[in-house]
A and B are shown apart, each in its own frame.
Chain A
Amino acid sequence: MVNGNPIIEGFIEAIELIITLDPQVVEITIRSLYVSLTATFFAALIALPLGALIYFYEFRGKHAVVSTLQTLYALPTVIVGLVIFLLLSNVGPFGFLRFLYTPGGMIVAQTVLIIPLLMGLTVSALSGIDRDKRYTITALGASRLQTVMTIIAEARFAVMSGVLLGFGRAIAEVGTVMIVGGNIRGATRVLTTAIALNTSMANYSLSIALGIILLAVALGVNIALSLVQRR
């Protein structure tokens, strides 16, 4: 890299790293997927029922709750990182879990980060079932519970899109995982933090390789999204 364009050379080396399945690249990619998929799973487990609850039950301030959720879609990752860091730190209320600087802590942080998004998108997915369909379900003799289950089943692809979007946000964010995970090599280093670190070390080829993978994951999510939305 002494001579020549570091970007072009970086690209060439990056491609080599990917093709040869460089262990470091593979390990970081797997960890990234593991952390964000797990976080998405738990977030969905919490957010989907809560979102459904908000949609199906009328209560005072429902509108405010929904718009708050929509505001929280753009919840700054570093703020979530900071809050979770303070909660999980050894002197914080959940310090006893010894969760700071572990993938578990990162999963918690990303879960918290995308719960509002998943809840909000669940509410809008269910709202996407139009009035006539709801009338039809009632007219067919569905009980309250059967109505709820039918609407959820009918909105399943829209809900799935929301979950995919949540995963996309989780895997692409750097703020919480950097603060809560600590970017420990071999333990909590994921695609985004590794890119940040390697760029700061002017180690562009590894950054580019990881960047390509991150883009590929994002592209994969988008392809999955469009497949789901076409249904």
Chain B
Amino acid sequence: MTVIEAHNIRKSYGSLEVLHDVDLSVEEGEILALIGPSGSGKSTLLRLLDLIEPANAGELSVFGVDTVADHGTWLDLRRRMGMLFQRPIVFNSSVYDNVAMGLRYRRAPGDNIDRKVKEALEAVGLSRYIKSRAIDLSGGEQQRVALSRVLVTDPEILFLDEPTANLDPTSTATIEAIVTRLNREADMTVLISTHDLAQGQRLADRVGVMIEGTIAQTGPSREIFREPKNQQIARFVGVQNIIPARVVSRRGDFTVVEAREKEILSATPPPADEVKMVIRGEDISLHRRKPGYEEAENLFPATVTAIEPTAPFVNVTVRCGCDLVALVTARRAEALGLHEGMEVWVSLQAKAVHLIPRKGA
């Protein structure tokens, strides 16, 4: 079942357009991560979807209810959702009162509030602070208070806006574990925005990439990482090699492209004549001598021109007509005895060479 369906959402603040042409649908029980650089509109989109503020244009239905036609339903719909913000936000009252806020808004019975608040604080490991003033807690503890404050209301959809951006690794792990468990056990739908690619990959079933105010691509995280639709997405998901090339022919299932007079095979059907090759550094293998048996469709000699450690990996730039950056583990770099000027063999599967059209990238 689709719980959120958005079409052509647009949002401006004054003359500043923050969102445009946003299309998104969210299925019940999935975890969707919105990734994208700062300022790409992730937080604004989450606020629109949580019905905290209205969009300027577009269609939005939540739980199957058209929210544009009838604002009167907003409060009821909003009370079935919850949102955790990037900055830990607590109110100037006790931890208990902080966590009880949402339940009190919903006029829950007192004993019910009491039980749920205590359970929620137990779950985030803050029971001993139940009577403390919330603003006296540390940032990580405050964020856990904020999370329990959302969770006691049993949201069907949980929005998390960069929830761990300012937190220590322990608090981050706690929050991620709780979110994953709730998704699995309570079938809670989760939308998380993050600029941490690894977090998106770790938690999400599906990833949406936001670039400059719109959702540029959605899909399983593997797809986003391997087959970005355009250069901006490729850059954002950390592709090291984006190389202009020209389609010259088809050879079986493969597309032959030429870059600086070097022919390379790609498994991507040609999207245009003028293309760019998108190759992740970790997909490029280096060998000391020509491998006797190699499955990779592309195999060619090259010269090492630069070695840049980025622990625990090493970025190795090789020249083979065009420059390629390969990502190898530090251990493997040592085993290969890599040094500048060294002659090596490069192997690269055709599947690892993704093609995007050159224009508009």
Listed in ascending order, the chain A residues whose CB lies under 8 Å from chain B are 132-133, 135-143, 146, 150, 153-154, 156-157, 231
Residues of A within 8 A of B105 (CB): 140-143, 146
Q: Which 7 A-B pairs have the closest CB atoms?
A: A141-B79, A139-B83, A140-B102, A136-B89, A142-B105, A141-B105, A138-B52
User: Is the CB of B78 closer than 8 A to any CB of chain A?
Assistant: yes
Given contacts A143-B75, A146-B105, are A135 and B153 in contact (CB under 8 A)? no
The 8 Å CB contact of B89, one of A133, A146, A153, is: A133
A132 lies within 8 A of B87 (CB): yes
A138 contacts B85, C-beta separation under 8 Å: no
Partner of A154, one of B47, B91, B102, B159: B91
- B146 → chain A closest CB, angstroms: 8
Contacts of B149 in A (CB 8 A): 140
Distance to closest chain B CB from A80 (angstroms): 34
B89 surroundings in chain A (CB, below 8 A): 132-133, 136
- In whole Å, how far is A157's beta carbon from the nearest beta carbon of chain B? 7
Out of B92, B150, B159, name the residue touching A140 (CB < 8 Å). Answer: B150
Q: A154-B92, A157-B92, A231-B92 are in contact. Are A139 and B87 (CB under 8 A)?
A: no
Query: Which A-chain residue is minimally distant from B93 (CB atoms)?
Result: A153
The smallest beta-carbon distance between B265 and chain A, in angstroms, is: 51
A139 touches B52 (CB 8 A): yes
Closest A-chain residue to B83, C-beta based? A139
Binding site for A on B (CB under 8 A): 47, 50, 52, 75, 78-79, 81-83, 85, 87, 89, 91-93, 101-102, 105-106, 146, 149-150, 153, 159
In angstroms, Cα B44 to Cα A100, docked, is: 58
Q: How far is the CB of A56 from chain B (nearest CB, A)?
A: 16
> Contacts of B52 on A, CB cut-off 8 Å?
135, 138-139
Closest to B85 in A: A132
In the complex the two chains form, is A141's CB within 8 Å of B78's CB? yes
Provide a sorted-by-A list of 17 A–B residue pairs whose CB atoms are within 8 angstroms. Answer: A132-B85, A132-B87, A132-B89, A133-B91, A135-B47, A136-B83, A136-B85, A138-B78, A139-B52, A139-B81, A139-B159, A140-B102, A141-B102, A142-B101, A143-B105, A150-B101, A231-B92
Main secondary structure of the interface of B (DSSP, over half): mixed
Whole-angstrom distance from the CB of A48 to the nearest CB of chain B? 18
CA distance A231 to B81 in the complex (A): 32
Among A132, A140, A231, residue most surrounded by chain B Cβ atoms (within 10 Å): A140
Q: For chain A, what secondary structure do more than half of its interface residues adopt (helix, strand, loop), or is it mixed?
A: helix
A132 to B86, CA, bound (A): 9
Q: Which of A135, A136, A157 gathers the greatest number of chain B CB atoms within 10 Å?
A: A136
Docked complex Cα distance between A150 and B82 (Å): 18
Bound-state Cα–Cα, A139 to B89, Å: 12
Distance in angstroms between the alpha carbons of A227 and B121 in the assembled complex: 30
Task: Please indicate the chain B residues that have their CB under 8 angstroms from the CB of A137 in the complex.
Answer: 101
- Across-interface contacts of A157 in B (CB, < 8 A): 92
A133 to B101, CA, bound (A): 13
Contacts of A141 in B (CB 8 A): 75, 78-79, 102, 105-106, 153
B309 to chain A, nearest CB (A): 40
Chain A: minimal CB distance from B335 (Å):
51
Residues of B within 8 Å of A133, CB to CB, are: 89, 91
A231 contacts across to B, CB distance below 8 A: 92
- Bound-state CA distance A147–B341 (Å) is 67
Cβ distance A61 to chain B, nearest Cβ, rounded Å: 19
Complex Cα distance A140/B93, Å?
16
Give the residue of B81, B85, B91, B150 whose beta carbon is less than 8 angstroms from that of A150. Answer: B91
